[in-house]
Structures are given as C-alpha cells and as structure tokens.
Amino acid sequence: MLYKRKEILGEDHPDTLAGMANLAWTYGAQGRIKDACDLKEEVLCKRKEIPGENHPDTLAGMANLAVTYGAQRRFKDACNLEEEVLRKRKEILGEDHPDTLMSMAILAFIYKAQQQIKDVCDLEEMVLCKEKEILGEDHLSTLTSMANLALTYRVQGQIKDAYDLAEEVLGKKKEILGEDHPDTLMSMAILALTYGAQGWIKDACDLTEEVLCKRNEILGGDHPDTLTSMS
C-alpha cells in the first residue's frame, strides 16, 4: 500500500505521509522501536516542510515521536519535543483543547520516567481538573487520568489520597465497562497496590488473586497483564 502511494502520489503527498505514519505505528506495536523512530523522524521532517511546523498533523507527529523517544529511554529528547508541542498547542488550540490535554498527559508520563514526581503531580492534577470540567467525571479519559494520579500519589506517599482516588475509579469503571473489562481489572490491580502501601496485606492479596483469576480466564495465562498479576 505504501509503495503504491509513493509511486502514484509521490513521497511528499499527505496520504503517503499518513501511510508512513501508520507503518511506523505498526513497527512500534511489533517492538521494532528503532524502525518506528526512523520512520517517524522522516515523516516529521517532511511535514515540517510541507504543511508547516504548526500544522496539527505536524504537532501530532512530534507528540508521537516524543513517545517513541521515551520508549528508547531518550528522555531528554522526549521531554524537549513534548514541551515544544505543548507550548504550540496552548498557543494555537488553547489550554482546554483535548490535544493540549493529551500533550500534558504525555509530558507527565515522560516526567514520571525521569522521577520528576512533583512536576508529574502538578501536571496530572491540572489535566484531571480540566477533563472533569470539559469531558465530565465519567469519561474514560477522565478515569484514566484519575488512575494515573492515584499511582503518582502512591509514589509520593499520599496513600490516603491514592486509595480514595483508586476506589472511585474502580467503582465507576465497574458501572461503565463492567467487572471483567481489562480496564476495570487494571483499576483493581492499582487498588491492590494501594492496599499494600497502607499495610493491608490480606486485602491486597485477596484483590490481586481475584484479578489474576479473571485475567487468566479472559486474557489467558501468557498475556503480559496476567504475568504481571502473577509477579
């Protein structure tokens, strides 16, 4: 498909670049991080020339490349790139646009990898506050942000805050997604970690065993999430 697009439309056509971006995503899903990174850099270079540096497609490409840099543990490059994306999105789209909030969430993830926990907490609290206002308290993006913040609170030693948030997320996901949904099981696993951090070892053990049993049935014994629960 990509070969034909290059032949018919040319290497710089937007559809060709979209095909290259899709192929880069596939490389990443296969664990071919270096190939994904090389292709994303090529796409970004072309998009900076043709649609321009401030075009939404270019900014999306920069954000995707920042995530790939993070996967390569090139945290400084990832941080610099995502900070630039965030600055531009704030200027062009505004602070409350979903793409801006996504950049804030990605940047928080990169900060977390660098152990900049205070910066992570500030960003995640801001994202969560805005998502509650704009998307609503029961939106899946809002619930994901709540779960991320619960983990950050746990790392910071704010165990009570982490516990309250993790319980709220789990309750909402059970209602919206059902008890056996992978995202619900992930929230149960996060709550079990919070129980452990409070010294509630029996509760943590019971909940983790429940998660493991469900993941075994639904995802299979060899799925990464199942193996994580076993671990």
Total-model pTM: 0.74
Can you list the domains of the chain with their CATH numbers?
1-114 (1.25.40.10), 122-231 (1.25.40.10)
If you write DSSP's letter for every residue of the chain in order, what string do you get?
-HHHHHHHH-TTSHHHHHHHHHHHHHHHHTT-HHHHHHHHHHHHHHHHHTT-TTSHHHHHHHHHHHHHHHHTT-HHHHHHHHHHHHHHHHHHT-TTSHHHHHHHHHHHHHHHHTT-HHHHHHHHHHHHHHHHHHT-TTSHHHHHHHHHHHHHHHHHT-HHHHHHHHHHHHHHHHHHT-TTSHHHHHHHHHHHHHHHHTT-HHHHHHHHHHHHHHHHHHT-TTSHHHHHHH-
Instruction: Output the average pLDDT for the chain.
Output: 88
pLDDT at 28: 82
User: Between these two residues, 14 and 227, which has the higher pLDDT value?
Assistant: 227
pLDDT at 9: 64
Q: Mind listing the pLDDT tens digit for each residue in 117-172?
A: 888 899 999 999 999 999 899 998 999 999 989 989 988 888 899 989 999 999 99
